[in-house]
C-alpha cells in the first residue's frame, strides 16, 4: 500500500504536466471549459494503470506519458457529459462545468476531448491502440445507457447490475491497462491477462463505490444514499429490499420509481443499511472481483509494476472515500 | 446536375444498407435511439464525397461503403448532440430523439456513434485515416463552440463568421473527401487538393443554408429567420444590420442579444431581407467558395468522379431548400 500511494502521487505530477500540454493544444473556444474539469485534480488512476502496464511489459521513456493521458481524457469527457445528463451541481469540489459555461459548451467540450483522445491515439501509428480506445468508449456509453434504461426499477438481477458496472466503469479501466500492454508489444496472453485484471479491478472499484454511497454523512460530510434518490439499484439496496416486508417493499418500490424519497427517508435507510451490514456485504462481493484480478497477475512478469498492480487491489478493497 | 442527383440517389441505397449493418452492431441499449436518427433519411452527401474521392484516385470494391459510413456516423452524432443543445423539437421530419428517448440517452448515443466511427476507422489499419477523422470531429466541435460563444453578438466580423462555418460544416466535408483520398493512396498534392475542395464546398454549403433561412415561409412551409431568434449573426443579417439607421440598429441589437424578437418581427425582417436582396447577395458570397472549390478540381484526374464533384458544386449553388 505504501508503494501504491507513493507511486500514484509521484506519477500524478508528471501526468498532470502531460495533460496541461494536451489542454494547450485544444481549440481556443473550448480550452477554458475543458481545463475546468481536466485540471481539477482527480487521482489519475487510469493513466497510472497505462504507465504500469506499459512498463511491466518492457516499454519505457517519456512518450509513455503521452499514451497515459489518453484514458484520462476519455474519463474527463465522460465526466463532462455525465454532469450534464445527471444535472450534477459539483464535481471534484468545483461547481460543475455546465453550470458555469452552459450545457452546450459542456457537451461540445466532451466531444472535443473524445476526438482529441482519438487523435492522440492515432499519433502512435499502432491501429490496435485505436480499436482498444474506441471499444472502451463505446462500451462505457452502452453501460451508462443500460443503467439509465433500468433507472427506478427493482426488477433486474445482480447479473444485470454487474453488466452495467462492467460497462460504465470496468471497460475504461480495462482499456487503460490494455493500452499500455499493446503499446509495449506484450504477447496476446499477456494483453488478455492485464485486460482481465483491469476489468475486474473496475468492477470491484464500482461495487465499493456503490457501498460507500451509504457511508454516514456525519463522518464523510457528503449526502448519503444518493443512489436511492437516482433510482440506481445497487447491491446494498438489493439486500435491503429483500429484507423488507412485502408491504414495506411496495412503498419503497413506488418512491424508488418516482424518486420521491424524502431526506429523512434517505438518512434512515442509509442508517438501516449500515446497521444491517448490507454495505459491508456488498464490499465482500467486490472481493470476488479483486480475487479474480489478483489471479490475472500471477502469470505476469514478477517486476516492480506487478507489485504495484497488486497493491492497487488493496487500495480498492480498503478505500474509505 | 442530372448525373449528380442520380449518383446521389443510387448510392443512398447502398450507403443505407451499410449504415444498417453498423446499427445492428451497436450495443443493444443504444440501438433504438441511434437508429431513430441514423436511419431517418438524409441526403448522405458525406458518404457520397468519400466514395467519389476514393474512386477518383483509383480505389474500388464493396469495402468503400464501409469507409463511406464513417463521416455519416459522425454527422449523425453531431445531430444528436446539436438537438440536445439547441433544444430542437424535430429533425428530418421526425420528433427529436432526445424528446422521445430522453436527454441522457441522446448524449450517450452521440458518444457511442463517435466511438463506433473511430472503431470503424481503426479497422482499416491505416493510421492517417484516424488522424483525418479525429481532426474533423475536433474542429467541428470547436466551430460549434465558437458560434455559441458569439451567440447574440453583432460585433464580430465576416472573417469570424467564415471561421465558424469552416469549423462547424467545412471540416467534416473536408474530412469526407480526404478520407477517400487517403484510403486510395492518392499523392500528397492530390489529398490536399480534394481536402481543399471539400472545405470550400462545406463553407459554400453553409452560407447558402444561412441564406435559405430567410426564404418565404408561405413557399417553404418552414418558419423563416430562425437564425435571428437563435442569435446567429450570418451574412444576410450582417447586411441588414448595416442597412438599419443607428436607432433601429440599437433596437435590433437588444432583441438579438436577448432573443426577444416576436414572430411578427421575424416574418417582417425576413421579407425585408428578401426585398433588399440580402439573401441573394449572401449567395453570391458563397460563389467565391464554389469557385475556389472548382479550381481545386482542375489538377485532379479527369475521370467520371471529377465530373460529379463539379456537379456537386452546382447542386450547392442552386439548391432551393
Dump pLDDT digits (tens) for B99-155: 999 999 999 999 999 999 999 999 999 989 999 999 999 999 999 999 999 999 998
Which residue of A118, A127, A178 to mutate against B (max B Cβ within 10 Å)?
A118
Is A141 a residue whose pLDDT tops 80?
A: yes
pLDDT for res A87: 82
Smallest Cβ distance to B125: which of A107, A127, A145?
A127
Is A14 a residue whose pLDDT tops 80?
A: yes
pLDDT for res B1: 62
Q: What is the pLDDT of residues A74-103, one digit of tens each?
A: 999 999 999 998 888 887 778 889 999 999
Q: Per residue in B61-99, is it b (16+ CB within 10 Å) or e — as a string?
A: eeebbebbbbbbbbbbbbbbbbbbbeeeeebeeeebbbb
Alpha helices (H) in B57-187, listed in sequence order: 63-86, 97-101, 103-122, 127-149, 158-165, 171-184
Which residue of A134, A165, A231 to mutate against B (max B Cβ within 10 Å)?
A134
Q: What is the percentage of chain B residues whose pLDDT exceeds 70?
A: 99
Smallest Cβ distance to B29: which of A28, A84, A146?
A146
Is A214 a residue whose pLDDT tops 70?
A: yes
pLDDT for res B127: 87
Q: What is the pLDDT of residues B290-301, one digit of tens each?
A: 999 999 999 899
Measure the CA–CA gap between B156 and B163, rounded to whole angstroms: 11
Q: What is the pLDDT of residues B183-241, one digit of tens each?
A: 999 999 999 999 999 999 999 999 999 999 999 988 887 889 999 999 999 999 999 99
B292's CB contacts (< 8 A; 6+ apart) are B196, B200
Neighbours of A294 (CB within 10 A): 17
Q: Is the distance from CB of A34 to CB of A23 less than 8 angstroms?
A: yes
Smallest Cβ distance to B127: which of A109, A127, A134?
A127
CB-based contact B118 A126, cutoff 8 Å: no
Closest CA–CA distance from residue A6 to any residue of chain B (Å): 34
CB-based contact A141 B103, cutoff 8 Å: no
Alpha helices (H) in chain B, listed in sequence order: 2-24, 28-38, 45-56, 63-86, 97-101, 103-122, 127-149, 158-165, 171-184, 188-212, 217-220, 226-229, 235-243, 246-258, 263-275, 278-298, 304-318
Query: In chain B, which residue's Cα lies nearest the Cα of A33?
Result: B145
pLDDT for res A1: 62
C-alpha pair distances (Å), A42 with each of A76, B12, B108: 10, 46, 23
Is B93 a residue whose pLDDT tops 90?
A: no
Q: Is the distance from CB of A26 to CB of A34 less than 8 angstroms?
A: yes
CB-based contact B131 A148, cutoff 8 Å: no
* ipTM above 0.85 for this complex: yes
pLDDT for res B287: 96
Smallest Cβ distance to A105: which of B108, B134, B148?
B148
CB-based contact B112 A148, cutoff 8 Å: no
Neighbours of B240 (CB within 10 A): 22
* pTM of this structure: 0.94
Residues of the domain holding A298: 2-318
Measure the CA–CA gap between B294 and A127, rounded to whole angstroms: 35
Q: Which of these, B21, B69, B63, lies nearest to B44 by C-alpha position?
A: B69
Q: Is the distance from CB of B131 to CB of B175 less than 8 angstroms?
A: no
Closest CA–CA distance from residue A144 to any residue of chain B (Å): 8
Measure the CA–CA gap between B65 and B98, rounded to whole angstroms: 29
Closest CA–CA distance from residue B280 to any residue of chain A (Å): 31
- The CATH number assigned to the domain holding A174 equals 1.10.600.10
- What mean pLDDT do residues B64-74 have? 98
Count structural domains, chain A: 1
* DSSP label of A26: S
Q: Confidence class of residue A219 from pLDDT cuts 50, 70 and 90?
A: confident
CB-based contact A29 B142, cutoff 8 Å: yes
Amino acid at each position: 500500500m505504501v508503494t501504491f500511494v507513493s507511486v500514484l502521487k509521484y506519477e500524478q505530477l508528471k501526468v498532470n504536466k502531460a495533460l496541461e500540454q494536451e489542454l494547450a493544444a485544444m481549440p481556443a473556444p473550448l480550452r477554458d471549459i475543458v481545463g475546468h474539469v481536466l485540471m481539477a485534480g482527480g487521482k489519475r488512476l487510469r493513466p497510472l494503470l497505462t504507465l504500469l502496464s506499459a512498463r511491466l511489459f518492457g516499454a519505457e521513456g517519456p512518450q509513455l506519458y503521452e499514451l497515459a493521458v489518453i484514458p484520462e481524457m476519455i474519463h474527463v469527457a465522460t465526466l463532462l457529459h455525465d454532469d450534464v445528463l445527471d444535472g450534477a451541481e459539483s464535481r471534484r469540489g468545483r461547481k460543475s462545468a455546465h453550470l458555469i459555461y452552459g450545457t452546450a459548451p459542456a457537451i461540445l467540450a466532451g466531444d472535443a476531448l473524445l476526438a482529441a483522445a482519438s487523435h492522440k491515439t492515432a499519433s502512435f501509428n499502432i491501429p490496435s491502440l485505436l480499436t482498444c480506445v474506441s471499444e472502451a468508449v463505446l462500451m462505457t456509453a452502452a453501460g451508462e445507457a443500460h443503467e439509465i434504461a433500468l433507472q427506478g426499477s427493482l426488477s433486474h438481477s445482480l447479473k444485470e447490475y454487474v453488466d452495467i458496472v462492467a460497462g460504465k466503469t470496468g471497460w475504461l479501466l480495462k482499456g487503460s491497462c490494455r493500452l499500455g500492454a499493446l503499446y509495449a508489444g506484450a504477447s496476446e496472453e499477456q494483453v488478455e491477462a492485464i485486460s482481465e485484471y483491469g476489468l475486474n479491478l473496475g468492477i470491484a472499484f464500482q461495487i465499493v463505490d456503490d457501498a460507500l454511497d451509504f457511508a454516514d454523512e456525519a463522518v464523510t460530510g457528503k449526502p448519503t444514499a444518493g443512489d436511492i434518490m437516482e433510482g440506481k439499484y445497487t447491491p446494498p439496496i438489493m439486500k435491503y429490499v429483500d429484507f423488507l416486508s412485502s408491504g414495506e417493499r411496495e412503498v419503497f418500490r413506488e418512491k424508488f420509481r418516482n424518486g420521491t424519497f424524502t431526506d429523512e427517508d434517505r438518512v434512515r435507510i442509509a442508517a438501516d443499511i449500515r446497521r444491517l451490514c448490507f454495505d459491508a456485504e456488498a464490499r465482500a462481493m467486490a472481493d470476488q472481483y479483486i480475487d479474480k484480478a489478483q489471479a490475472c497477475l500471477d502469470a505476469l512478469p514478477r517486476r516492480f509494476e506487478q507489485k504495484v498492480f497488486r497493491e492497487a487491489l488493496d487500495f480498492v478493497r480498503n478505500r474509505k472515500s
